[in-house]
A = this chain, B = another copy of it.
Amino acid sequence: MRLFCNNTFFYSPFGNEGGAVITVHAPATVANMVCGFDVLGFAVNEPYDEMHIRFCDKPGVTIHNLDDYDLPTQPELNVAGAALLAMLEEIPEPIGFELAICKQIKPGSGVGSSAASSAGAVVAANRLLNERFSKQDLVRFAMNGEKVASGVKHADNIAPCIYGGVTLIRSIFPLDIVPLTVPQLYVTIVHPQIEVRTADARSILKQQVLLKDAIRQWGNIAGLVAGLLQEDYDLIGRSLEDVLIEPVRSILIPGFDTIKKNSREAGALGGGISGSGPSIFMLSKDEATAKEVQAQMHAVYERLSLDHHTYVTTINPTGVRLVDQ
């Protein structure tokens, strides 16, 4: 049964046992988009998880891992499994899903690894079900995966993973997702190979903030949304400022201030911590700048002798993508 990711001779992870197989690419996402803490996120084109799903005779969810991350295959402990179980609860028929996951987004990197698995699974399953559920339903199901991963049902990775582009989660209860039409943006991401636990990143935040800082933050998010919708790159750059969360959380990420400063000097519009870290992202108007930013990030972590991966990619306008086999 075990097959390898990225095998160009690969047609079906399930062999020739019959039944239509749906394959999807579920992209990485950046949540907590600077001043948009907890409400703004976006999808990128690289990296992405590859997932395959088909109906099977055994009711419930059966999971196969096609990668080396050794993630749980018990559905209720697996983020994709938990998302599919939530979907099954709203399906009257006794259906069984068989899912094969080839993760390429490293868990714990801060670019929505768990969201990609949860979102990818429900989008793929929904295709098998002839699009029975709305995108908002899918977000609701996939949030159960986030609960398995971090203990909290949040949607700021899930929503952009399913809708694509930049999405605003105006409200979680009730769920109110606003996809934003945005201009071309290049994204440079660096993932330093350290661990920042989401729970730790949450626990160091203050529960109370100064009203004047909150006002500055909502001036910035209003400016960021206006800049994105009005294609005003200068305004986007001026608004990419976080006076509340970043000053606290960035102390967990070596080299953060230098990377941010050097990226801005290299021409980046701005950026910050991706999710709860440790990855850092920067937005640029063009590819040349995004690559120069990559070189700056690389140089900083070379000097700190810190292992890291970098990506230069673009905002993914469509989210989870069905792949023709």
Contacts and interface: CB of A to CB of B under 8 A. Distances in A.
Interface of A: 35-40, 168-171, 176, 178, 180-181, 205-212, 214-226, 229-230, 235, 238-239, 244
A37 B212 CA distance: 10
Contacts of A180: 226
A55 B171 CA distance: 54
B220 A222 contact: no
A267 to B, nearest CB: 20
A211 B218 contact: no
B214 A209 contact: yes
Nearest to A206: B211
A170 B220 contact: yes
A39 B218 CA distance: 8
Given A178-B226, A226-B180, A235-B178, A171 B210 contact: no
Nearest to A207: B211
A159 to B, nearest CB: 12
B211 A171 contact: no
Contacts of A225: 222, 225-226, 229
Contact of A238 (B169, B176, B207, B212): B176
A224 B229 CA distance: 13
A230 to B, nearest CB: 7
Given A37-B218, A214-B214, 8 more contacts: A36-B218, A36-B222, A170-B220, A207-B212, A209-B210, A218-B218, A218-B221, A221-B221
A222 B38 contact: no
B209 A207 contact: no
A225 B176 CA distance: 15
A209 B211 CA distance: 6
A219 B244 CA distance: 15
B226 A39 contact: no
A168 B222 contact: yes
